[in-house]
Chain A
């Protein structure tokens, strides 16, 4: 059981604030750190893992500050986002070296176990330089968990993995969490966080925009008004027809673009086609106007 705690943590580079007064605790289980690219996720993770000094505030793992206390790495496994690895080592040598640097006895046996956990056995005796991105990622994970740390921090662990590898990595993290480990991973992909994490931290522009149970945050995200843009053979005719549908909150026709807003995603998609049929208009395109993660985030921030 270990708890990572951030208290009033900020980090700035000159005049640029990368992380702004963030306070939270991460305990056992899987916590997803969600945010768009450039939101400060890596800065935050690096401060949590003790690779970066907070400009203000403090990060502690249980009682020990992580910055400038290398002994905390007995309790932490860290998987960096960067792909760089010692390309001249084989996967096995890399994991064994990682075990030895952690001061483990029985490093070779531990490396064997870690390699099996990430399913890298077949490639373990090849040089890492020839690995695919997904294989490198798994070698990095094996090196991070070889000393069986109670806390695992992973920066964008699913980058470059194919869907099958993604699933098996998710299973691995779930199994490790079930053993009572504290696991924190970052991602800019909503679906990954949704499938894996019990707790979610949403970071936008260096601030903690939301935190807590994923279902609660999911509701926050889905309750917001959705907007769609629409193209058809006769937008004005279609707009008149759509305005009659109660599911649709507003219809706007500006600069030749027809925009619809609704609180009920499902009802809108069911209402559009019949309306077009009634109006005798051909639908050319219906697309969500703001489904990018960034707009979801900015909605959360405004609340």
Chain B
């Protein structure tokens, strides 16, 4: 039952052309690291540059973009096109549907983001993997939190993709830059705090303390999954004609 559910979710996600485009976007960060390296930079500078690349491109752009697209379509696309009926018409516990979808979506997101981050990190830092691994773990943490939030959002509104993008661009991109207090509710800042805790050298500058970011991130993730379960058990199907 779980394997079937996971397999259906994974195939639906990978079947979409936009998922493949996201893979290309991830490849771009690797290409940037390679081109930079070809310029023969000084080692100290290279660490700063790579940390900036992984933070500003990897965590601040690639991660939320992949998460919003994968997270909102893991259940949202089935709700949109009506194929959710084939899951709802089965004796599958509703929490299980949500949890499996969440695991698969966050796994896909994590892979699409963490993998290019590690590779770009190793290349950019001239072979030293610690920077890349630190950021990749942060990306996995962020992937779990983002995906949970966007999955829940797709069960609350049919405009989840637009609202999710608006959250990333407006809240995390603009508001969190202007008002430090709002950063506590920024997934990106939670992920940065994790990276900061894991990476000693290099220019990670998280605005939140790890001890604050970790519990909030975990609480938001669990809360979002619980909300999604509640919403799914109340989903009603309407006919096209009545």
B residues near A102, Cβ cutoff 8 Å: 90-91
A77: shortest Cβ distance to chain B, in Å? 8
A81 touches B11 (CB 8 A): no
A101, B241: Cβ atoms closer than 8 Å: no
Instruction: Say yes or no: B1 contacts A101, CB within 8 Å.
Output: yes
A80-B4 CB under 8 A given contacts A42-B241, A68-B233, A70-B94? no
Q: Which of B12, B88, B237, B239 has the most CB of A within 10 A?
A: B239
Distance from A235 Cβ to chain B, minimum over Cβ atoms (Å): 39
Contact residues in B for A268 (Cβ distance below 8 Å) = none
Contact pattern, B 224-242, Cβ under 8 Å of A = 1, otherwise 0: 0000000001101111111
Known pairs A76-B89, A82-B82; A46 contacts B238 (CB<8 A)? yes
A92: min CB distance to chain B, Å? 14
Contact: A80 with B85, CB < 8 Å?
yes
Contact yes or no, B15 A70, CB < 8 A: no
A100: contacting residue among B1, B85, B234, CB under 8 A: B1
Distance between A299 CB and nearest chain B CB, rounded to angstroms: 22
B-side interface residues, number (CB < 8 Å): 31
Q: Does B93 contact A (CB under 8 A)?
A: yes
B91 contacts which chain A residues (CB < 8 A)?
70-74, 101-103
A247–B239 Cα distance when bound, in Å, is 45
Q: In the assembled complex, which residues on chain B have CB atoms less than 8 Å from the CB atom of A37?
A: 241
| Complex Cα gap A184–B86 (Å) | 18
Cβ of B20 < 8 Å from any Cβ of A? no
A97 at the interface (CB under 8 A from B): yes
Closest beta carbon of chain A to B17's beta carbon, Å:
12
Does B90 lie within 8 Å of A73, measured CB to CB? yes
Q: Which of A71, A81, A86 contacts B83 (CB 8 A)?
A: A86
Chain B hits for A77, CB < 8 A: 89
A residues in contact with B7, CB < 8 Å: 97
Instruction: Tell me whether B90 and A82 are in contact (CB under 8 A).
Output: no
B80-105 interface mask toward A, CB cutoff 8 Å, 1 = contact, 0 = none? 01110111111111100000000000
Q: Are A101 and B90 in contact (CB under 8 A)?
A: yes
Q: Chain B: interface secondary structure? A: loop
A70 touches B90 (CB 8 A): yes
User: Which residues of chain B (69-87) have a CB below 8 Å from chain A?
Assistant: 81-83, 85-87
**In chain B, what residue has the closest Cβ to A37?**
B241
Which of A100, A101, A155 interacts with B239 by CB under 8 Å?
A155
Known A70-B90, A100-B1; contact A88-B12, beta-carbon cutoff 8 A = yes
- What size tier do the contact residues of chain A reach? 35 or more
Task: Give B2 Cβ to nearest chain A Cβ, in Å.
Answer: 10
Interface 9-residue window, one of A25-33, A47-55, A113-121, A256-264: A47-55
Distance of A63 Cα from B92 Cα, bound (Å) = 20
> Are B8 and A51 neighbours in the complex by a CB distance under 8 Å?
no
Is A187's CB within 8 Å of the partner chain B? no
Residue A89 is within 8 A (CB to CB) of chain B in the complex = yes
A197 CB within 8 Å of chain B: no
Q: Is the CB of A43 within 8 A of B242?
A: yes
Q: Say whether A137 faces chain B, with CB atoms less than 8 Å apart.
A: no
User: Does A3 touch B at the CB level, under 8 Å?
Assistant: no
* Docked pose: A155 CA to B233 CA in angstroms: 22
Contact partner of B86 among A40, A46, A98, A155, CB < 8 A?
A98
- Specify the chain A residue showing the minimal Cβ separation from B15: A88
User: What string of 1s and 0s marks CB contacts (under 8 Å) between A91-109 and chain B?
Assistant: 0000001101111000000
B4 contacts A101, CB within 8 Å? Answer: yes
Please report the C-alpha to C-alpha distance between residue A143 and residue B4 in the assembled complex, in whole angstroms.
Answer: 14
Q: Contact between B81 and A42 (Cβ–Cβ < 8 Å)? A: no
Q: Determine whether B5 belongs to the interface, using a CB cutoff of 8 Å to chain A.
A: yes
Q: Mark A58-80, 1 if CB is under 8 A from B, else 0.
A: 00000000001011111011101
* A85 interfacial contact with B, CB 8 Å: yes
A-B contact pairs, 26 of them (CB 8 A): A42-B240, A46-B237, A46-B238, A53-B236, A68-B233, A70-B94, A72-B91, A73-B89, A77-B89, A80-B82, A81-B240, A82-B82, A86-B11, A86-B12, A88-B12, A88-B15, A97-B8, A98-B90, A100-B3, A101-B5, A101-B86, A101-B87, A101-B91, A102-B90, A143-B86, A144-B89
B residues touching A (Cβ–Cβ < 8 Å)?
A: 1, 3-5, 7-8, 11-12, 15, 81-83, 85-94, 233-234, 236-242
Give the 6 A-B residue pairs with the shortest CB-CB distance, closest first. Answer: A42-B239, A51-B237, A101-B90, A100-B4, A84-B82, A82-B82
Beyond A41-B239, A51-B237, A101-B90, 12 additional pairs, beta carbon < 8 A: A37-B241, A42-B240, A42-B241, A46-B238, A51-B236, A72-B91, A73-B91, A82-B239, A84-B83, A86-B12, A88-B12, A103-B91
